[in-house]
Chains A and B, each alone.
Chain A
Amino acid sequence: MRIALFITCVNDIAYPATGIAVTRILRRLGHTVDFPTGQTCCGQMHANTGYRAEAMPMVRNYVDVFDRYDAIVAPSGSCTAMIRDQYPRLHPPATSVAARTFELSELLVDVLGVTDVGAEFPETVTYHPTCHGLRMLRLGDRPLKLLRQVRGIRLVELGDAEECCGFGGTFALKNPAVSGAMLTDKCARVRETGARVLAAADNSCLAHIGGGLDRHRSGVRAMHYAEILAATGATS
């Protein structure tokens, strides 16, 4: 299967390890992975902040770049939700490519039919299901199904897991007080688990929660779950 990678803007610049991890997982499973370099950004930040007209060229660019692939995978719940949920309304020709765009756990579990990706990660991990993955994509326990098969992992439950961390794209900048209060509560729940790693499906939420955990010197590492799935023990 020819799978195209959509590496979101946040991943590309600040979290390249996530994209590298997705590439490794898919190759390990015997798939050909392509990264069309004409890709830019899904336009979510613009569309959700009220700049739909400015987002439209990005929407059209996505269709131009990805329409020729069987499946497109993005290691981000919110960017995938933007493409799958909003694109068809914003730009009807995007409907078909939107339906072929998957978040990593959807691709692995639903399309490729895999839950054991041959990973080893001997750490205590707690998982935060980010809002768009949870409520727009309805990822359900797909990421956890994958994580449960990882050798050596110890998964611990996160309290109030389904509550938003307070990132919300530009919300964090426009409403710093409320966002900060939500972050404080989320970080407290993470620390209560005793986990050494916080995993999630969105590097933007992880940048926010991880930034909060670093600020409080909690010693908890925020990590995209793709990096856990790519780990083979020796190189984690």
Chain B
Amino acid sequence: MNRPGVDRSGTGGAAAPATGSGRIRTPLPFPTAAKPAVADAQLRANLHRATRTIRAKRARVVDEVPDWEALRDAGSAIKADVQRRLPELLEQFEASATAAGATVHWARDAAEACRIVVALTRAAGADEVVKVKSMATQEIELNEALEAAGIAAYETDLAELIVQLGEDTPSHILVPAIHYNRAQIREIFQRRMPDAPPDLSDEPAALAEVARAHLRRRFLSARVAVSGANFAIADTGTLVVVESEGNGRMCLTLPETLISVVGVEKLLPTFTDLEVFLQLLPRSSTGERMNPYTSMWTGVTPNDGPQAVHVVLVDNGRSAVLADPVGRPALSCIRCSACLNVCPVYERAGGHAYGSVYPGPIGAILSPQLTGVADNASLPYASTLCGACYDVCPVKINIPEILVHLRQQAPHPVAEKATMRVLAWVMRSPRRWATALRLARVGAGPLGAYRERRSGARTLRRLPWPASAWTRSRDLPLPAPQTFREWWEKQ
């Protein structure tokens, strides 16, 4: 089997690493997809309230850690080390996990990963699986592949369950149902959960209780579980899942067969490295000092827990990301979602606008790298480069720098390219630039005088396309009656 990230031949270097597929592509350009979200007042209010609450919580618990910056540096350094030694660490992980009784599978892309999971589920004789929240399985569109193979997949994370019952897709990494309020959730439960009482209230405790009873029946009947992993430890072969509800732990311990789908970037070199990440992750994601449940398993434990344990290591474009030294740190992401919660663009546009299972600032750099920038060209522009994401990133991914780097690779619209080139030609010559400034000032002169007579403001209210993109929301300042350099020369 072809091993992603471990091509050490050095001879097959002619072929670039394969790009990824699955739910990481934008079906619509970001500006188009964001439009309905911006216009949806309920959605905007839900997102505003949720992101504001969680970012305040994060800020509080981060502030109380005296060595937070040192932890970020440590996390960043460990991840950089993983990226330097990924092939070696993957082989070490495979050896350790296999020695502990797990079976390791390698998947080049989404389709291959799905085929492996379907085959393993069939081999276990099951026609349903329970799932613990996993970004990787959403990325490879595993639920759809299982359904096509006649296997029902049940999400057990509460928010994932809401999204699945609502026949929707997640819009946030940590809080997939962030775009719903509790009245909307109650409505989904009543419509799609046969066991929900008709007088169900929208109190969070009541909603959680109904979901709990619903899920308990699933856990007790399922023979196969599918999980992701937050971390995979190379030296011990251990997988780690960090969660809040305990539903994950039910999946990881009750079924006979456990299949874990893990992106190759999830590796950590040693068990002691966890010390850093178990401090960084909960504070950055849920704003808690520690998450309620951390589950770890290493292969098979005789007569305890799943007796058949499989790990599917997924590349799906990650080797291509690894090959770019500037973009590579995107693979350091621990999916905490802190960047989403501080991003003013995410707060207005919501997660669905990104079209990818990875929304927000991290999605804007990760998704285009996984698929190839040309296929996701609007995402690197879905940011004002305000830098708030970089400040909160627990592993110090310089998201603005990578956004700018990816914009260099994006295919540029013809008219934009022509305009930019002309402007660059003018601006690279002081003489041409001075002339252009004078011409703009002279040209705007009559317009300015006209506007001043009318309203006293030297701005324009309406301009034709494409400048209408500006004047739809705001007035445009006109060139001043005298440029700075004209003033300088006259004084």
Contacts and interface: CB of A to CB of B under 8 A. Distances in A.
Interface-central residue, B380, B420, B428, B470, by most chain A CB under 10 Å: B428
A131 B385 contact: yes
Interface residues of B, number: 66
Contact of A167 (B382, B384, B416, B486): B384
Contact of B420 (A12, A39, A54): A54
A93 interface: no
A135 interface: yes
B334 to A, nearest CB: 22
B176 interface: no
Contacts of B430: 37-40, 61, 65
Interface stretch (B101-109, B267-275, B341-349): B341-349
B386 A54 contact: no
A168 B386 contact: yes
A41 B433 contact: yes
Contacts of B382: 175, 178
A17 B302 CA distance: 78
Interface in B1-55: 30-31, 34-35, 38-39, 44
Given A54-B420, A131-B387, A182-B348, A13 B437 contact: yes
A178 B31 contact: yes
A188 interface: no
Nearest to B459: A214
Contacts of B489: 37
Nearest to A18: B484
Interface in A46-62: 46-52, 54-55, 57-58, 61
A38 B469 CA distance: 33
Contact of B437 (A12, A47, A55, A172): A12
B475 interface: yes
A29 interface: no
Nearest to B344: A164
A208 interface: yes
Contact of B384 (A40, A131, A207): A131
Interface residues of A, number: 68
Contacts of A167: 384
A211 interface: yes
A175 to B, nearest CB: 5
B386 A13 contact: no
B190 interface: no
Interface-central residue, A19, A50, A171, by most chain B CB under 10 Å: A50
B473 A183 contact: yes
Given A167-B384, A172-B470, A54 B421 contact: yes
B433 A40 contact: yes
Interface in A146-199: 162-164, 166-184
Nearest to B437: A13
Interface in B152-174: none
B61 interface: no
Nearest to B460: A211
B485 interface: yes
A11 B480 CA distance: 10
B388 A173 contact: no
A213 B247 CA distance: 50
Interface in B345-396: 345, 348-349, 380-388, 390-391
Nearest to A42: B427
Nearest to B440: A13
Contacts of B473: 176, 179-180, 183-184, 211-212, 215
A20 B484 contact: yes
A21 to B, nearest CB: 11
Given A16-B482, A57-B428, A211-B476, A181 B348 contact: yes
A214 B345 CA distance: 23
Contacts of A175: 30-31, 34, 345, 381-382
B84 interface: no
Contacts of B388: 131, 135, 162-164
Contact of A58 (B30, B427, B482, B483): B427
A143 B35 CA distance: 36
A13 B441 contact: yes
B479 interface: yes
A135 B390 contact: yes
A7 interface: yes
A44 to B, nearest CB: 10
A168 B469 contact: no
B149 to A, nearest CB: 39
Interface in B418-452: 420-421, 423-424, 427-430, 433-434, 437, 440-441
Contacts of A20: 484, 487
B404 A35 contact: no
Nearest to B382: A175
B474 interface: yes
Given A172-B470, A215-B461, 4 more contacts: A14-B477, A50-B404, A162-B388, A179-B384
Interface of A: 7, 9, 11-17, 19-20, 23, 35, 37-41, 43, 45-52, 54-55, 57-58, 61, 65, 86, 131-132, 134-136, 162-164, 166-184, 207-208, 210-212, 214-215
22 contacts: A13-B480, A14-B479, A16-B482, A17-B480, A45-B423, A50-B407, A50-B409, A50-B410, A57-B424, A131-B384, A134-B387, A169-B384, A171-B385, A172-B469, A174-B469, A175-B34, A175-B381, A178-B38, A178-B348, A180-B472, A180-B474, A211-B474
